[in-house]
């Protein structure tokens, strides 16, 4: 890989006009999406099966990437002779969460845990084949655990569980909605690879220090009916002598055993990783995805539009913290994310309306807005880890289309 990567950029400028001409319509974001794609989809050949990685958004989230942009990617792939499919993986855990709002109104969140629930949210958000022109497939299976174990020499991991269905495709286009993230600092192409293309096994290990472990000093078989064994969806638990034992290679952290066990603290729940470890672990995941699939087979497009403080996987991501920054395209996931962060730093912040009805003062140009708003985060950690794993380059040439 050359020291300087190419990042194509379409500015966020849109010309308002009642008279539609080529001069003003070329500023339309959907048109600009196609112009970016014409620059980066140079690796697609006739008949290629092309996976298009998306995030359909969580229930009640209204900042997810709208399906119109995804349709443009699909049409561009088809124009190159490729056969596109949308791909997605499931979220952590097993169950949806019901939240009572008032006496006669409640909502459900956490719908992306399995294929049935996940598909319903995808349909609600417009990710239907009849609308966008390609099927949506869950590459980690019905429950998020169908995997291929990839060996790596990473910063934290020696092996990573990549979603098995990814390897059914010849090429990969990673679509990312650039926005903030409470642990990663921001979400972009690297996070789409490192969280979005792995199974629940490595999603769990990115977020938590370890898998679940039996506390042999508290486990008492005389006080239970081995509920942990019957509740485990992957048969990771067995009886070993006087206590239960969890096979760490099978466990994906669904926490069903902890919920069903009648003996308090008989199963140790791991602590969440600190921010540095979380970042290095999901960057290791990204490294495994790229290494096993082939870096030359992947292209990236980031939509830095509608940019809230938090990610698309939460119902309340907050208000937008910066104006729209435009659309970015590249063959380098590090460079494209760095270009987005640089644009965010160089842009003025937006005022945020607080609960007391007062507007905050906008953050100035030159300030990294995500870190300034969420002080524990550090977006540079992603780039540091990615450079150590030699995933890409932070040196890039920005070409405006």
Domains of the chain as residue ranges with CATH = 5-207+273-400 (3.40.50.11440), 213-268 (3.30.70.20)
Residues 6+ away with beta carbon under 8 Å from 308: 63, 179, 180, 317, 318, 319, 320, 321
Q: Which of 94, 29, 55 is nearest to 257 (CA)?
A: 94
| pLDDT tens string 318-356 | 999 999 999 999 999 999 999 999 999 999 999 999 999
- Report residue 195: phi and psi, to 5°: -115, -40
Confidence of residue 1 (pLDDT cuts 50, 70, 90): very low
DSSP 197: T
Q: Which of 70, 91, 248 is nearest to 163 (CA)?
A: 91
Helix (H) or strand (E) holding 97: strand 97-102
Q: Which of 155, 206, 198 is nearest to 181 (CA)?
A: 206
| pLDDT tens string 231-271 | 999 999 999 999 999 999 999 999 999 999 999 999 998 99
Note whether 247 and 154 are within 8 A (CB): no
Note whether 9 and 327 are within 8 A (CB): yes
Query: Following DSSP, what letter does each residue of 269-325 receive, concatenated?
Result: PPPBPPHHHHHHHHHHHHHHHHHHH-GGGEEEEEEE-SEESS-TTSS---SEEE---
* Mean pLDDT to the nearest integer, 78-94: 95
**pTM metric for this prediction:** 0.95
Measured in whole angstroms, the distance separating CA 400 from the mean position of its chain's CA atoms is 26
Percent of the chain with pLDDT over 90: 92
Nearest-angstrom CA–CA distance, 220 and 266: 8
């Amino acid at each position: 890989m050359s020291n300087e990567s190419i990042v194509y950029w379409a500015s966020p400028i849109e010309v308002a006009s009642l008279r539609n001409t080529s001069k003003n319509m070329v500023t339309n974001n959907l048109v600009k999406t196609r112009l970016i794609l014409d620059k980066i989809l140079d690796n697609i050949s006739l008949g290629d099966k092309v996976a298009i990685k998306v995030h359909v958004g969580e229930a009640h989230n209204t900042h997810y990437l709208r399906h119109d942009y995804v349709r443009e990617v699909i049409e561009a792939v088809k124009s190159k002779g490729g056969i596109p499919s949308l791909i997605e993986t499931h979220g952590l855990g097993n169950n949806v969460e019901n939240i009572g709002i008032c006496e006669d109104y409640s909502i459900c969140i956490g719908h992306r845990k399995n294929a049935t629930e996940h598909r319903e949210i995808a349909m609600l958000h417009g990710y239907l084949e009849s609308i966008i022109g390609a099927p949506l497939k869950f590459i980690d299976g019905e429950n998020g655990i169908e995997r291929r174990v990839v060996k790596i020499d990473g910063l934290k991991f020696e092996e990573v569980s990549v979603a098995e269905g990814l390897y059914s495709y010849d090429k990969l286009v990673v679509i990312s909605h650039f926005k903030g993230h409470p642990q990663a600092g921001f979400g972009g192409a690297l996070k789409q690879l490192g969280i979005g293309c792995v199974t629940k096994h490595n999603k769990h290990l990115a977020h938590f220090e370890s898998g679940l472990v039996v506390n042999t000093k508290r486990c008492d078989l005389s006080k239970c009916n081995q509920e942990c064994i019957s509740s485990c969806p992957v048969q990771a638990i067995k009886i070993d002598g006087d206590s239960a034992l969890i096979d760490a290679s099978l466990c994906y952290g669904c926490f069903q055993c902890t919920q069903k066990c009648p003996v308090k603290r008989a199963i140790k729940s791991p602590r969440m990783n600190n921010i540095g470890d979380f970042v290095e672990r999901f960057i290791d995941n990204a490294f495994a995805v790229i290494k096993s699939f082939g870096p030359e087979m992947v292209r990236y497009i980031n939509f830095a539009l509608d940019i809230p403080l938090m990610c698309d996987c939460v119902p309340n991501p907050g208000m937008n913290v910066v104006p729209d920054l435009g659309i970015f395209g590249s063959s380098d996931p590090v460079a494209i994310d760095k270009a987005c962060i640089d644009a965010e730093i160089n842009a003025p912040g937006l005022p945020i309306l607080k609960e007391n009805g007062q507007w905050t003062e906008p953050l100035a140009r030159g300030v990294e807005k995500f870190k300034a708003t969420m002080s524990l985060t550090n977006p540079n950690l992603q780039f540091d880890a990615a450079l150590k794993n030699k995933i890409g380059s932070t040196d890039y040439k920005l070409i405006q289309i």
